[in-house]
């Protein structure tokens, strides 16, 4: 073969090799086509957390709702009517369970307020004196929240490019919803009506700045009144006498508790919804190529600042107004990233267990339990057995706390002292059941001992838990000072189940009738978002049928 011919063949081989390498390179960088039937990762998730939400009320009022609020979630989404939080849970602890996927014994949030045995007083669970408040003298941070949240995982999943914001009337709920990695968390100040935050969070969205520096809530509140949203005849299941006179609640400047009252009213829900809508549009949430999250806190618990103990009509009106607020949020999402690119969920948390005592004319049995008197009598009883000393340091939220410093100095048996105290308290009027901390931790206490055990935080739990008869008032407590017009808290055994509704692009409309553990909600939402679950989520996600 001639050298010329050899060079021609080599040249051709080289061309073939170059073409092959280029083709391989193109194949390596060309993205694979999305298989038919799959959807893009959601670009926006909106969590709507509602204190006091009840599936019974929603089902009762469905004919009064519009098409884009609760009805849209029920007709087009996943409905879970009975999400169980277990015993002894308030809205703050329930919110923490929903966003962490674990119980108070792990996430560190057993209640809104906990007891300090040294100062003999209670304090907010998220209190953090190391931080400073913006627009408030309150000092909060998520430091006491010991595990990650859904919002934290949203931030981590996109390397911090995704935004997480929260707004709620209550400070601690707002912080839990913002989590550790949130961009901002705002709540309504009880004394000045400003939307405030902690220096832990670095951002102040324009929607908040406009409300704090422009037309503030304090200047608008004098002219604001909460009246029925519809004709009185349209409220279902009301006795005829309740339909004669419409309610009217105002928030005049002469009332020192007007901001506290406003925070639990239907107009406050409207304020939160409007801020949420402003966030979606001004921050362009869900349109930036990453996943953003917006968490909003609402309240439909019985309104305690009225004159009438029967507040059914206000409660129904709050639901009807909230339905309209949710519809407006849905419409804002449709104008922004679009429903097809968003995941929305409504999650209820238990209502407060208190309320007003029924009028005496109904002859419903009642009494008054005085923790202060119980502490005094129990201390005298223990002194008669073990010698002089202050053996009981305080009472809070059903728990009696013993003086562990004195017990250690006297070399006494803590378990024996708890048993003696429980035996004494069980004989007091108004006490229906008593459990020692040892009974609780050994799962020997209550109707659901396993749930009761996981719903306490050993760091904050007292030594003896007492259950007071329903209908009885509890005096001499910090709860009394935090209530409306210092009215005494009334014991009512209320269900700790609430509904959850999820509206996701790829989820088939379905109803889950069985009781669902509240710890399963967080991993279910994160699976829909295609991100990892919070780091302490202890249950697998629910099986939701997809399209």
Stretch among 32-46, 163-177, 428-442 having the lowest mean pLDDT: 32-46
Query: What Å distances lie between residue 7 and 12, 16, 18, 471, CA to CA?
Result: 9, 14, 16, 103
DSSP 337-404: T-GGGEEEEEEEEPPPS--PPPPGGG-----EE-HHHHHHHHHHHHHHHH-SS--EEEEETTEEEE-H
- Continuous H helices in 202-311: 206-213, 217-220, 258-263, 266-282
Tokens 């969590």, residue located? 47
Tokens describing residue 115: 């007891």
When comparing pLDDT for 38 and 45, which is higher? 45
Residue 477 reports pLDDT greater than 80:
no
d(CA 235, CA 142) in angstroms, rounded, equals 41
Buried b (16+ CB within 10 A) or exposed e, 142-169: bebbbbbbbbbbbbebbeeebbbbbbbb
pLDDT of residue 5: 43
**What pLDDT score does 363 carry?**
77
Do the beta carbons of residue 505 and residue 339 sit within 8 Å?
A: yes
State the pLDDT at residue 308.
Answer: 82
Of residues 92 and 489, more confidently modeled: 92
For residue 331, the cross-strand partners are: none
**How does residue 29 score in pLDDT terms, banded at 50, 70 and 90?**
very low
Question: Quick check: 429 and 474 in contact, CB under 8 A?
Answer: no
CB 468 within 8 A of CB 492: no
DSSP state of 222: G
User: Which of 67-71, 190-194, 305-309, 435-439 is predicted with the least confidence, judged by mean pLDDT?
Assistant: 305-309
Band of the pLDDT at 364, cuts 50, 70, 90? confident
Q: Decide if pLDDT at 115 tops 50.
A: yes
> 400-415, pLDDT tens digit by residue?
999 999 999 999 999 9
Burial class (CB in 10 A: 0-12, 13-18, 19+), 538: middle
Position 495 scores a pLDDT of 64
What does the pLDDT look like over 266-291, one tens digit per residue?
A: 999 999 999 999 999 999 999 999 99
Q: Residue 393: pLDDT above 80?
A: yes
- pLDDT at 367 exceeding the cut of 70: yes
Residue 173's SS3 state is helix
Give the integer Cα–Cα distance in Å for 384 and 392.
14
Reference 337, options 513, 546, 505, 182; nearest CA is 505
Q: Is the pLDDT of residue 353 over 60?
A: yes
List domains and CATH numbers for the chain.
45-113+123-353+494-529 (3.40.720.10), 368-486 (3.30.1360.150)
pLDDT digits (tens, 9 = 90+) for 139-191: 999 999 999 999 999 999 999 999 999 999 999 999 999 999 999 999 999 99
**Predicted confidence band of residue 77 (pLDDT cuts 50, 70, 90):** very high
Q: Which of 253-257, 471-475, 534-538 has the lowest mean pLDDT?
A: 471-475
Question: Whose structure tokens read 């004669």?
Answer: 244
State yes or no: pLDDT of 391 exceeds 70.
Answer: yes
How much is the pLDDT for 355?
A: 63
The residue-averaged pLDDT of 407-434 equals 96
Q: Is the pLDDT of residue 497 over 70?
A: yes
Mean pLDDT (whole number) for 534-539: 95
Taking alpha carbons only, the member of 70, 71, 66 closest to residue 48 is 70
- Pairing assessment for the beta strands 195-198 and 133-134 based on DSSP bridges: antiparallel
Pick 101 or 38 by higher pLDDT. 101
Q: Which of 118-127, 384-393, 487-496, 504-513 has the lowest mean pLDDT?
A: 487-496
Residue that has been written with the tokens 């629910």 in this structure: 542
Rounded to an integer, what distance in angstroms lies between the CA atom of residue 210 and that of residue 224?
19
Q: d(Cα 107, Cα 142) in Å, to the nearest integer?
A: 11
Prediction pTM value: 0.90
Residues 6 or more apart from 442 whose CB is under 8 A from it? none
Percent of the chain at pLDDT above 90? 77
pLDDT of residue 485: 46
Per the model's pLDDT, the better-predicted residue between 514 and 8 turns out to be 514
Pairing label, strands 121-124, 133-134: unpaired
Rounded to whole angstroms, the Cα distance separating 239 from 404 reads: 54
Residue 38 has a pLDDT of 45
The DSSP H or E segment spanning 434 is strand 431-436
Cα atoms in the Cβ-side hemisphere of radius 13 Å centred on 164: 23
Contact 32, 280 (CB under 8 A): no
The pLDDT of 336-349, averaged and rounded, is: 97
Looking at the predicted structure, is the pLDDT value of residue 373 above 80? yes
The pLDDT, as a whole number, for residue 261 is 97
Most confident by average pLDDT, 33-47, 213-227, 265-279: 265-279
């Amino acid at each position: 073969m001639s050298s010329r011919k050899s060079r021609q063949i080599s040249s051709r081989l080289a061309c073939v090799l170059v073409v092959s390498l280029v083709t391989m390179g193109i194949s390596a960088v060309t993205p694979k086509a999305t298989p038919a039937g799959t959807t893009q990762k959601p670009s926006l998730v909106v969590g709507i957390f509602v204190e006091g939400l009840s599936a019974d009320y929603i089902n009762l009022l469905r004919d009064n709702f519009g098409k884009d609020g609760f009805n849209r979630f029920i007709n087009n989404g996943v409905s879970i009517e009975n999400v169980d939080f277990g015993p002894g849970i308030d809205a703050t602890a329930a919110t923490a369970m929903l966003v962490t996927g674990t119980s108070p014994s792990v996430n560190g949030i057993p209640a809104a307020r906990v007891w300090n045995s040294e100062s003999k007083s209670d304090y907010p669970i998220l209190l953090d004196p190391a931080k400073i408040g913006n627009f408030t003298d309150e000092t909060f941070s998520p430091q006491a929240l010991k595990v990650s949240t859904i919002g934290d995982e949203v931030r981590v999943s996109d390397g911090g490019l995704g935004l997480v914001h929260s707004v709620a009337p209550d400070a601690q709920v707002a912080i839990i919803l913002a989590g550790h990695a949130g961009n901002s968390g705002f709540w309504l100040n009880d004394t000045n009506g400003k939307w405030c935050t902690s220096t832990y969070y670095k951002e102040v969205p324009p929607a908040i700045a406009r409300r704090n520096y422009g037309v503030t809530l304090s200047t608008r509140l004098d002219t604001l009144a909460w009246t029925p949203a519809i004709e009185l005849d349209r409220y279902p299941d009301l006795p005829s006498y309740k339909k004669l006179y419409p309610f009217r609640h105002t928030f005049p400047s002469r009332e020192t508790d007007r901001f506290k009252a406003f925070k639990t009213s239907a107009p406050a829900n409207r304020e939160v919804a409007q801020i949420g809508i402003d966030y979606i549009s001004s921050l362009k949430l869900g349109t930036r190529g990453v996943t953003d999250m917006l968490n909003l806190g609402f309240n439909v618990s019985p309104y305690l600042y009225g004159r009438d103990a029967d507040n059914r009509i206000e409660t129904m009106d709050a639901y009807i107004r909230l339905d309209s607020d949710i519809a407006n949020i849905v419409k804002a999402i449709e104008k922004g990233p679009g429903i097809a690119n968003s995941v929305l969920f409504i999650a209820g948390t238990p209502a407060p267990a208190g309320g007003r005592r029924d009028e005496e004319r109904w002859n419903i049995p009642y009494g008054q339990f005085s923790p202060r008197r119980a502490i005094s009598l129990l201390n005298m009883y223990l002194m008669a057995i073990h010698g002089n000393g202050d053996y009981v340091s305080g009472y809070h939220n059903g728990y009696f706390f013993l003086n562990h410093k004195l017990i250690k100095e006297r070399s006494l048996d803590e378990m024996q002292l708890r048993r003696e105290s429980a035996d004494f308290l069980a004989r007091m009027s108004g006490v229906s059941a008593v459990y020692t901390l040892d009974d609780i931790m050994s799962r020997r206490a209550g109707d659901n001992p396993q749930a009761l055990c996981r719903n306490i935080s050993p760091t904050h739990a007292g030594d003896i838990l007492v259950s007071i008869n329903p209908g009885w008032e509890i005096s001499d407590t910090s709860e009394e000072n935090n209530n409306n017009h210092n009215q005494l808290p009334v014991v009512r055994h209320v269900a700790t189940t609430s509904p959850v509704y999820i509206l996701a692009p790829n989820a088939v409309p379905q109803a889950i009738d069985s009781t669902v553990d509240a710890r399963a909600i967080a991993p279910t939402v994160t699976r829909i978002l295609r991100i990892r679950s919070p780091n302490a989520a202890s249950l697998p996600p629910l099986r939701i049928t997809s399209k």
